[in-house]
Amino acid sequence: MSATVRPTQRQRAFAERAARTVRGRKAANVTMLTFLSIAALAATLPLLVILLHLVKLGASSLSWNFFTQMPKPVGESGGGLANGIAGTMILVGIGSAVGLPVGVGAGLYCAEQAKSRLAQVVRFLADVLNGLPSIVMGIFAWEILVRPLGHFSAFSGGIALGAMMIPMVARTTEEMVRTVPNTLREAALALGYARWRTSLQIVLRTASAGIVTGALVAIARIAGETAPLLFSAFGNQFWSTSLKQPIAALPLQIFSYAISPYDEWHSLAWAAALVLIALVLVISILARLATRARAGAGHGD
């Protein structure tokens, strides 16, 4: 026969208090989870709304002609933005040719000579440059290139975009290079690699997947920039691939068509916006794939 153990009053009070705190913790957990999920959903909402809107208004104007034909005068239906698409590609090409080597080089220097005075200055200035309003970059390109040369040009637009890319690429390169373990540097040095060779052939190569991701993100950013081009590439109604002439660009055409009073131009602007956002999306997906390739290479041990 076993005696029933009756909980003392103190034990009962303790159990009650415990039950209460558990209920409280659960409630707090549910509240916070709900709030954060709503915030997470809200963060994606603008993109979803924009995409839906663009597809609704722009998709009807998208056709093969949109990519192959030139803009038609007001009143004629049809026509495309072939010049803007080509122009954006040329501008992004020039921008990358300037921004990638300089940005990667600066980032590599800042990471490998992290404590040097110059690296600290460069790092700070890159952050400032990163926060610079893009319209200021346009004025800068106008002041140092357009005015001395006497005319707007694709070249000056590309330089403005390249200058915007430099700090973005430099900072991601630096971060990626810093993730390369120091033991790899030592291993290369011990094999008889000179320091510059270690940086270029071992460190930079090890960090390359991350740097490619950063570069693609930067390209996606500048592909949609309008303000730096207003005073440099200027825009062009006609087909031009000359670096010395003003050149069309999708963001510029979106801007000028959107503020025009014509319905045909409005729908072209919607379609151009859709193409631009699709381009950025594709680049972002490529960046994701590059990151995944890097994660895959890190297996083992």
Partner 1 sequence: MATDLTPRATYAVPARETAPGASPMRTRIAVQGLDAWFGQVHAVRGVSLDLLDRRVTAIIGPSGCGKSTFLRCLNRMHETVSGARATGHVLLDGREIYAPEVNPVSVRKHVGMVFQRPTPFPTMNIRENVAAGLRVMGDRKPSRGETEAIVEQALRRAALWDEVKDRLGASATGLSGGQQQRLCIARSLATSPEVLLLDEPTASLDPISSQKVEELVYELRKEITVVIVTHNMQQAARVSDVTNFFLNGELVEGGPTERIFTAPRDPRTESYLTGRFG
Q: Which two tokens stand for residue 29?
A: 């957990």
CB atoms within 10 A of CB 39: 9
Residue 88 is a binding residue for partner 1 (CB under 8 A): no
User: Residue 7's Cα: distance from chain center in Å?
Assistant: 64
Out of 8, 192, 261, 263, which residue is the one contacting partner 1 (CB under 8 A)? 192
Q: Is 6 in the site for partner 1 (CB under 8 A)?
A: no
Q: Using the rule CB under 8 A, give the single segment among 22-30, 35-43, 98-106, 192-200 that binds partner 1.
A: 192-200
For residue 247, list its beta bridge partners: 234
Q: In whole angstroms, how close is the CB of 76 to partner 1 at the nearest point?
A: 55
Question: Quick check: 101 and 208 in contact, CB under 8 A?
Answer: no
Residue 114 or residue 281: which is nearer to partner 1 going by CB? Answer: 114
Q: Token pair of 293, please?
A: 């390739």
Q: Which is nearer to partner 1, 76 or 301 (CB)?
A: 301
Cα–Cα dist 114/92, whole Å = 30
Does 18 bind partner 1 (CB under 8 A)? Our answer is no
> Between residues 61 and 208, which has the closer beta carbon with respect to partner 1?
208
* 293 near partner 1, judged by CB under 8 A: no
Q: Kindly state whether residue 52 participates in binding partner 1, applying the rule CB under 8 A.
A: no
Q: Are 52 and 240 in contact (CB under 8 A)?
A: no
Per-residue x/- mask for partner 1, residues 102 to 141, rule CB under 8 A? Answer: -------------x--------------------------
State both tokens at 6.
Answer: 């009756």
Among residues 134, 193, 245, 284, the one that binds partner 1 under rule CB under 8 A = 193
Would you call 189 exposed, middle or buried from its count of C-beta atoms within 10 A (0-12, 13-18, 19+)?
middle
CA dihedral 265, 267, 271, 272 (to 10 degrees): 30
Contact residues: partner 1, CB under 8 A: 115, 181, 183-184, 186-194, 197, 201-202, 205-206, 208, 297-301
